[in-house]
Amino acid sequence: MVSARRLIRLGKSSLAVTLPRRWVESLGLREGDLVLVDEHNDYLMISVADRRREEGRSAHVRAGRGEEDSLARMIIALYQAGYDVIRISTPEGRVSALRDSLRRTLSRLIGLEIMEEGADYIILQMVTDAAAMSAERVLNRMEILVLNSLKDLDLYLRSSDPSILADVVERDEEIDKFYFLLSRQVSLALRNPAYLKQMGVEDRPLLLPIFNYGKTLERVGDVLVSLARVAAHTRVEVDAIETARKAVEAGIRAFHLGDEASKRSIASLYTEYFSGARHSLVEHLIGNIVSLSLDMLESRVELEVLRSGQQRNSH
């Protein structure tokens, strides 16, 4: 509901406006409570500061012997959802049995560490701010990891050194680590507009194409792991990896620049690759990467549409 309110002079140089009484009472706000003011070109967005964030969102998970896999998935899900403290307890009273599995899971999550441990519980806590690294830097790190995996696959085909394939698999865990961080950032920014500026994102709707692009990079990493495993047992042509490299590089350029050359390159690669029959597993995997480069372009188009909409609304 829109209401008109006059500005009130506060002091010598400040202006203030009162908040609607019904809104204040419905949220139980009192003098001294914190509200967030998100500045836009011609309007302000006022929201209540997330008290849960100030206090630290916490969750309690119970896990027994043999539930290590489900516990790992739960911890990752809570991390992505923005929880700061996760308490894990075991009905058997032997938390030490979960310790190795927990450490493997924590190696995939930036900033989450074991802070306290007892005979039947472990407390995990965030020790760094998820917004300390901008979304742009997170995506850039993911892009570098993906491109390095492509270089390693090419190097393996020329050298046949199996340790190179192991590097591709390990690097995918790093890609996942930054994807989980991006997911956490987006979750926090959706609840608290103050995170947007810390992430370097202009407005909340832009989180969607940014997240979709990060998810696409994560999927490319998964496909490259499959290619590495197939390459260990099946002949893969250098030209196939070259096609994948061209597609990924064009997708990255298209997302960041939106230039016509990158867009045409992706369309040409897609049309050329799928113009003939593709039956082998390797061809299927390369086709996945070519298709994912199109998804990168779609994220760019969505970004442009949202930005142009913001510009129209600001005039």
Distance between CA atoms of 190 and 82, rounded to whole angstroms?
10
Task: With H, G, I as helix, E, B as strand and everything else as coil, classify residue 64.
Answer: coil
Contact predicate 262/254, CB 8 Å: yes
User: What is the overall mean pLDDT for the chain?
Assistant: 87
- Would you call 19 helix, strand, or coil by DSSP? coil
The token pair that represents 270 in the structure block: 């897609």
CB atoms within 10 A of CB 93: 11
Token pair recorded at residue 178:
């930054």
Terminal Cα distance for the chain, rounded:
22
DSSP state of 159: H
Q: How far is CA 226 from the centre of its chain?
A: 22
For residue 242, which of 290, 173, 284, 277 has the smallest C-alpha distance? 290
Strand blocks (E) in the chain = 8-10, 14-16, 35-39, 44-48, 58-62, 85-89, 112-117, 121-126
Cβ-based neighbours of 116, under 8 Å, separated by 6 or more? 122, 123
Contact 202, 212 (CB under 8 A): no
72 closest CA partner among 59, 60, 81, 63: 63
Q: What is the pTM of this model?
A: 0.80
* Residue closest to 156 by CA, chosen among 220, 250, 229, 251: 229
Please name each of the domains of the chain with its CATH number: 8-49 (2.10.260), 54-130 (3.30.110.20), 131-314 (1.20.58.220)
CA-based nearest residue to 136, from 198, 216, 72: 198
Q: For residue 179, how many other CB atoms are within 10 A of its CB?
A: 22
Q: What is the mean pLDDT of each run of 10 residues along the chain (315 residues)?
A: 75 77 75 68 66 65 82 95 92 74 92 89 88 91 98 94 94 96 94 82 92 98 97 94 97 95 94 89 96 97 87 56
Q: Which residues contact 310 (CB under 8 A, 6 or more apart)?
A: 202, 203, 205
Place of tokens 């372009």: 297
pLDDT score at 53: 45
pLDDT tens for each residue of 114-145: 998 888 889 999 988 877 889 999 999 999 99
| Helix or strand (DSSP H, E) at 96 | none
Query: How would you classify the pairing of strands 85-89 and 58-62?
Result: parallel
Predicted local distance difference test score (pLDDT) of residue 280: 92
